[in-house]
Structure 1
Amino acid sequence: MKKVAFHTLGCKVNQYETEAMEELFEKRGYQIVGENEYADVYVINTCTVTNLGDRKSRQFIRRAKKLNHDSIIAVVGCYAQVAPKEIEKMNDVDVIIGTSDKRKIVESCEEAKEEKKKINMVKDFRMLNNFEELEIEEIKSRTRAYMKIQDGCNQYCSYCIIPYARGPIRSRTLENIISEAERLSQAGFKEVVLTGIHVASYGKDLGDISLLDVIKEVNKIEGIERIRLSSIEPTLIDREFMESVIKMPKVCDHFHLSLQSGSDTILKRMNRKYTTEEYRNIVKLIREYMPYAGITTDVIVGFPGEGQKEFEETCDFVKEINFSRIHVFKYSPRKGTPASKYINQVDGNIKHERSEKLINLGEELSIKFNKNLLGKTMEVLFEEESKDPSFIEGYTTNYVRVKAPFKEEYKGRILTVKITELDDENLIGEIEEF
């Protein structure tokens, strides 16, 4: 039996697409093996948000060829989309597919093998006009499922390469979304996460339809007990949105609202579409309807022109909002974006110092948020064994990890848990209802 291995970098969208491509190979008789095992085909699903993603992709290409000198190497995804000529120069690469045509991955790899030729299928990002269906039919887990409903981005933030890699916004049809959600329910999933490159823009290319319409339809599906949103723009949230979702108990009280900076000066230079005052009011609105909502975010440090004053403004704003979790990124110049040409680029050592400080602040805020949950009774979807096999762990609706004494029958179930202890950034609880 022929074997294929995958190496996936980047976001949840990439992970979703990798699982769909794995299924395409399996239907053609391939066995999926680990990325460090001998395989006939190695697929690298790339990320290009930072220079590190590009470098990791190149490293794995070299490593894969050492595992099997005669293997076919396919490089797909965002890095392939923005740098196809660079990748084409690599002798070890046989197939190059950007952010479209992934459905043709198997045929392309087999053609490259049979005809001993290099295949480059990358299209100009401006030609990416239709949502490419990469549905997953065979579900491998039974707890939380990511469901891609949208691709592309029209925001053009000054630091971001993604609009050039993923192209303009394309929305999946509501009919196909509902169909996949029903399959997920039948497969035993309790929670679906609506994901995409810019989920908040869902429907803008389809006419009179929006993300709220998707949520309402998925909410009707029997068996799906939780609906979670992946990262969204804060400007999506208004009173009408909150009035609607509060009536749908399946919608999780967790919002990952992209911030990127707590300085209005830097937000403007980033070409973000909101101010800190608008962001502040949106968070207040969420907490008006969902008092214990988990608010998580991303922050970039070391953006060009960020001085100590602007960084301190970010730290102060982060404290004020009282996030439940923060993901911190050091600014990485991406060729082809406006910000890469900005003056006042920040020294790497300063970026590192600011990153460490903000990460520590984020950990403090996570612990503070979790302490407020001690003594409360919460619903937890248990997913997997903890590193300590005597515990099983899962997530609350507001996206806090909870551990409880392990029992095999808890897996894949939503159970009522009394929160009793704080263990670093995690919570420990006792099962109250089974």
Structure 2
Amino acid sequence: MPKAALHNLGCKVNAYETESMQQQLEARGYEIVPFDQQADVYIINTCSVTNIADRKSRQMLHRAKKLNPQAVVVAAGCYVQVAADSLKKDDAVDIIIGNNKKGELADILDSYLKEGGRQEADLHLMDIAHEREYEALRLSRMSGYTRAFIKVQDGCNQFCSYCIIPYARGRVRSRQPESVIREVKELVSRGYKEVVITGIHLSSYGMEHKQEGPVQGGNWDHGPLLDLIKRMNGIQELERIRLGSLEPRIITEKFAGEMAAMPKLCPHFHLSLQSGCDETLRRMNRRYTTEDYLRRCGILRSCFQEPAITTDVIVGFPGETDQEFEQTREFLEQVRFYELHVFKYSKRAGTRAAVMPDQVPEPVKRERSDSLLRLGEEMSREYRSRFAGREISVLFEEAEEIKGRRYMTGFTPQYVKAALLLGSDASEKALSGQICRVRAGRLLDDQLLAVELEGK
């Protein structure tokens, strides 16, 4: 039985695709082993969202070849889609599989091995300019997870000035609703209680046939995505639905109101911001203002009780002055997010931002990043502490040792991490994968919310 090892870099979409590739190999008789062990085939699902992601992707490809010089090393995903010319000459890489080709992994491997390999890396790339079909990957489980990621959309038409992803993933493509529902039902039948709907630009789900794009009067057309959520909400055994990152303009009173009427929908919303300065947003080609963004957050807070709103922020974008950065910081303080994901601007060759004037020095980026990370920690601590003394629900996942004591940890619908102290009367096995009613107490390490089972 040949052995295969897989390593995933990047987003939840990548995680879904890596799991799908693993299940393809298992169906062909491969034994899956940890990546740090010797294998006959190594598959690295790469990421290219930043220069650091590029570097990590290259490092993992070379690490695989060092683990077993005789192994077949497969480079897959976003980084290889934009860097295929250099990877073709890389001795560490045997097979290159771009996006929308991952469903062919097992067949590509079989063909490569039958032909005894080639002098140059075997190349299988997506035609970015012309690909319009959604790749029909599927899952029957998610290894190591108590929640399941469901990929429903691929590609992006937005072309933000800093982003390489439209060039790596292509145009918007959506999965048929019937296919999504079948997969969710299968996963639920295997015991998954929560699903996370993911996509490269999730708000564009079902919108590829709109000639002028999905914006109508300043709002995003939420119809196809809302219809899909409603169908998932009707699956009897499913207990939680969580959404991936959303376009801010999809949040309207109708969209938020109809979501709030679905008890299975988790009140956890990731609305990408990137900057709290209107002038910076304009240079980024983000098509909203801070005033508009703030209004959308207000809609969510009027429809849901204390929703968890999280966001991404880029610091050090070309031309970002001290004054523009301060505007961003003040705006973040005004919104009061649950979590901030802070990124230092990373120049991506082939994007408009890469050739913009007034590139910000790295030390300045680092200082601004540190400042926002401290702010994010403060806001996160403030939000988590609101739950002290309340009765809440937690989907328990795994046991962890914290300060020398063993806890069972999991997440609330708002994605606040909670910890239950394990004792002789609490079975780790019985709790894993279960949703329990608990009473929240104090914060542990400013991050974890200590909880007790109701009735204890």
TM-score, structure 1 length as denominator? 0.97
For 2:157, the equivalent position in structure 1 comes to 154
Correspondent of 1:417 among 438, 441, 450: 438
Q: Would you say the 8 A contact 1:203–1:210 is kept in 2?
A: yes
Q: Tell me the residue number matched to 1:144.
A: 147
What SS does the corresponding residue of 1:125 show, helix, strand or coil? coil
> Equivalent residue for 2:271?
257
Q: Partners of 2:390 and 2:370 in 1: how far apart?
A: 32
Task: Give the alignment of 1:32-431 within 5 angstroms.
Answer: 32-115=32-115, 116-117=117-118, 118-141=121-144, 143-205=146-208, 210-388=224-402, 390-406=406-422, 407=426, 408=428, 409-423=430-444, 424-431=446-453
CA-based RMSD of the aligned residues comes to: 1.4
CA distance in 1, matches of 2:260, 2:209: 26
- 1:311-344 CA-to-partner distances (Å, cap 9, x unmatched) read 1111111111110111111100101100001000
Structure 1 segments (4+ residues) deviating >4 Å:
206-209
Q: Aligned-pair distance for 1:138?
A: 4.1
Q: 1:419 to 1:198 in 2, by over 3 A?
A: same
| Conservation of the 8 A alpha-carbon contact between 1:255 and 1:293 | yes
- 2:331 partner amino acid: F
Q: Shift in Å at residue 123 of structure 1? A: 2.7
Q: Distance in 2 between matches of 1:387 and 1:128?
A: 47
**Unaligned 5+ residue runs, structure 2?**
211-220
**Residue deviations 1:198-221 (CA, integer Å, cap 9, x gap):** 000101126795100110000000
The answer as to whether partners of 1:42 and 1:74 remain within 8 angstroms in 2 is: yes
- C-alpha separation in 1, matches of 2:263 and 2:455: 19
How much does 1:113 deviate?
A: 2.9
CA distance in 2, matches of 1:433, 1:31: 45
Q: How many residues align?
A: 434
2-structure distance, mates of 1:98, 1:127:
14
Q: Secondary structure at the match of 1:262?
A: coil
In 1, distance between residues paired with 2:289 and 2:165? 22
1:433: Cα distance to partner?
5.8
CA offset at residue 370 of structure 1? 1.2
In the alignment, the residues of structure 1 paired with residue 375 and residue 452 of structure 2 have an alpha-carbon distance, to the nearest angstrom, of 29
**Quick one: which amino acid aligns to residue 411 of structure 2?**
Y
The Cα of 1:374 is off from its aligned counterpart by: 1.2
Unpaired runs of 5+ residues, structure 1, are none
Rounded to whole Å, the distance in 1 between the matches of 2:378 and 2:16 is 32
CA distance in 2, matches of 1:387, 1:7: 26
Q: For 1:167 and 1:387, how far apart are their aligned partners in 2?
A: 43
Distance 1:291 1:316 in 2: 24
Alpha-carbon offset, residue 390 of structure 1: 1.9
Contact 2:141 2:148 in 1 (8 A): no
Contact map agreement 1:94 1:112 (CA 8 A) in 2: no
Please give the TM-score of this superposition, normalised by the length of structure 2.
0.93
Query: SS at the partner of 2:454?
Result: strand
Q: Percent identity?
A: 47
8 Å CA contact retained: 1:189, 1:223:
no
Aligned AA (1:168): R
Matched residues in 1 for 2:433 and 2:60: separation? 34
2:23 maps to what in 1? 23
SS of structure 2 residue aligned to 1:300: strand
Amino acid at match of 2:336: N
Q: Whole-Å Cα distance in 1 between the matches of residues 401 and 153 of structure 2?
A: 34
- Aligned partner of 1:241: which letter? F
